[in-house]
A and B are shown apart, each in its own frame.
Chain A
Amino acid sequence: MTEDPKQYVEELPPSETPWQESLRLFRKDRLALVGAYVLVLLLFTAVFGKVLTEWVVVFDPEVVRLPEKFLPPLTFSSTDDVPAHDRPFGGIYLLGTDELGRDVFARMLQGSFVSLSIGFIAVGISLAIGILLGGLSGFYGNVRFGVVTVDTLIMRFTDVMLCFPTFFLILTVVALLPPSIYNIMIVIGLTSWMGTARFVRAEFLALRKQDFVVAATSVGARDRRVIFAHMVPNAIAPVLVSATIGVATAILTESGLSFLGFGVQPPYATWGNILADGKGFIFDAPWLFFIPGMAILVVVLAFNLVGEGLREALNPKLRRR
């Protein structure tokens, strides 16, 4: 029997890296894929929106045109009432105008950047704190610090933070601080890191006992190398998932704060405060309410679906079924 051993090799499925496998699984989840497309689109909108509203005059979201207030979407700007340099792009109000005659389309464009940056910065802060504390607790947890260990200290502090009702705490602090968009980002970030810290700690505790980490330590790798080269890449999957869902939560929190009047203050437009302002005109100018509301719904939904898709795709336990 002379068989070519290569024959068997070729029948094996092509080898793929874990990331490729996750990507393949993610693509199979149609809802998550649609969500991902929406997010890419949103990212472009936000960046272009920032550029356009900042430097291109026809997209200026702050131009007040009192003769043309409360125009429904897709209305042409009438040429006699508004000076030529104040007219919107193409002379048409794609999404109508608000109570001051400002172009809702331009405001939504500006708001997309602000809303997204609130989400990203808040999540960035919460991830930084969560990974730092969780990692410290998971890796250096046994270090004694007087009577208590580092682990006890950090985890009890996390427990304390978890005791406070998050939204009420955010509301309290935001209301007491001077109104500023940065305060909102920071406060949301500072009050939402507890989940991240807990599971980063759990991941680290589990990873420390794994053979490859023990091996790395035993060949004399420094702590820094063990942590960043070996442990962090293996603990990153759940962090990614919670970050995606965290952005969604932050955008919702901002809109909730706006509803209560403690959101981002003018002149910044966010989707949350356009929606909150629009609720007063729900009968006279429903587009002021429904457009930002639907926009928030679609974007937050996209973030949630992508987050769940990632969770399924990155979780080897779910994958085997």
Chain B
Amino acid sequence: MQAFILRNILQRLVLVFVVSILAHSVIHLAPGEPSEVDPANPRMKPEDIAKIREAFHLDAPLYMQYVYWVRDLASGELKSFKDSQPVLGKIWRRFLNSLPLFICATLLVWTLAFPTGIQAAIHRGAVYDRSTTFAAYTLISVPGFFLSYIVILWVVDLFGVPVIGLKTFGMDMAPPLFQTMDRVWHLVIPSLMSALGGMAILSRYVRSQMLEVVGQDYVRTARAKGAEEDVVIYRHALRNALLPFVTMFGFLLPGLIGGSVIFEQIFAWPGLGRLGYEAILARDFPVILTLNFIAAVLTLAGTLLSDILYAVVDPRIRTGLQGDG
């Protein structure tokens, strides 16, 4: 087991290195530079541009820029082009804003998708199954911002739920209890809207996994020995259907950055996705690059975690896959 984990970590480290090179070259090979963002600004004199270029090593050869980036990132001194703030600090603050939204949305997805999917699989072909199937496909197919705008139009008038930002402006003097309630209240609609798509996909997946398992011999055996239907479904079938979902944990983490750009933009949520969007608008290379890199590292960490979990849960993996990578 230790060898299994160690080899996996080593492989991931090599991948991290390749990922960092790829991310760096994608950003720097594309045309367009931070100094060109605002060419109409009369205060940007050629010498200022030269100063910026020098400060950020933009004239150095590409591989040296890569070395500088890694060095600055490792020492935490990487500065944003836009406001010269340390990149890691910026990302950390935005990460703390994104985290509650991410946790709420993930909880919603996982708690709602499972019952829906299991019920659909049990009543395969019935009205419930067909209507949830259709609803799931509709949610997968609708552009997220289209649905969000419709919901915003509807809920703001009806329930008075806030849909902008993560807290009400001017609440800083309020008692801590009210501040917390205000923040939770602001979470409702954004987390629900960003959960809908994932919920639809996951419930479909749960359904197909359950269908796969329900036809197995051990489920028939459980029924034959006279176990109650609930016991058959939730103890014998569901436990075995859960196995593949262990791997899905790995792909949750990167959603923190990539999946949130549009929703954070809609709800003016100052999180990681918006930070990335603002950085792209400003050609803020260090921020874009570091965000992409962190997302990739998170994915790798996630898949490592799910590989280990899978090996813990399923002994076949531990013994069977020792030989190859």
Contact = CB atoms under 8 A, between A and B. Distances in A.
Interface of A: 31, 152, 156, 159-160, 162-169, 171-173, 175-178, 248, 252, 255-256, 259-260, 272, 275, 279, 282, 289, 293, 296-297, 300-301, 303-305, 308, 321
A304 B141 contact: yes
Interface string B243-255: 0000000000011
A300 B261 contact: no
B233 interface: no
B58 interface: no
Contacts of B296: 160, 163-165
B27 A168 contact: no
Given A279-B149, A282-B153, A300-B141, A160 B261 contact: no
Nearest to A248: B141
A152 B325 contact: yes
Nearest to B288: A172
B140 interface: yes
Nearest to A162: B299
B258 interface: yes
Contacts, number: 129
A308 B205 CA distance: 12
A131 B113 CA distance: 33
B143 interface: yes
Contact of A301 (B19, B26, B137): B137
B281 A175 contact: yes
Nearest to A257: B262
Contact of A172 (B26, B133, B145, B273): B26
B102 to A, nearest CB: 13
Given A173-B26, A178-B31, 17 more contacts: A31-B137, A156-B18, A163-B254, A163-B300, A165-B299, A168-B258, A169-B292, A172-B288, A175-B281, A259-B265, A275-B143, A289-B149, A293-B143, A296-B146, A301-B137, A301-B141, A304-B140
Given A160-B19, A163-B300, A176 B27 contact: yes
A64 B149 CA distance: 28
Nearest to B300: A163
23 contacts: A163-B19, A163-B297, A163-B299, A164-B19, A165-B255, A165-B295, A167-B262, A168-B257, A168-B258, A175-B280, A176-B280, A177-B31, A252-B141, A255-B145, A256-B143, A279-B145, A282-B149, A296-B146, A297-B141, A297-B142, A297-B146, A301-B138, A321-B215
Given A160-B22, A168-B261, A275 B146 contact: yes
A171 B288 CA distance: 11
A303 B141 CA distance: 9
A129 to B, nearest CB: 16
Nearest to A177: B30
Interface of B: 14-15, 18-19, 22-23, 26-27, 30-32, 133-134, 137-138, 140-146, 149, 153, 215, 254-255, 257-259, 261-262, 265, 273, 276-277, 280-281, 283, 288, 291-292, 295-297, 299-300, 325
A105 to B, nearest CB: 20
Contacts of B283: 176
A156 B31 contact: no
Contacts of B288: 172
A297 B259 contact: no
Interface SS majority for chain A: helix
Given A163-B299, A172-B27, A260 B143 contact: no
The 5 A-B pairs at the shortest CB distance, nearest first, are namely A165-B258, A176-B30, A163-B296, A300-B141, A301-B141
Central interface residue in A163, A171, A282, A296, by most chain B CB within 10 Å: A163
A303 B142 CA distance: 12
Given A177-B30, A177-B31, A259-B265, A167 B143 contact: no
Contact of B292 (A168, A175, A296, A305): A168
Contacts of B18: 156, 160
A255 B141 contact: no
Nearest to A31: B134
A321 B124 CA distance: 12
Nearest to B143: A255
A159 B257 CA distance: 18
Contact of A167 (B137, B145, B259, B325): B259
Contacts of A162: 299
A252 B262 CA distance: 12
A26 to B, nearest CB: 16
Nearest to A307: B137
B31 to A, nearest CB: 7
Nearest to B256: A165
A173 B288 CA distance: 11
B137 A304 contact: yes
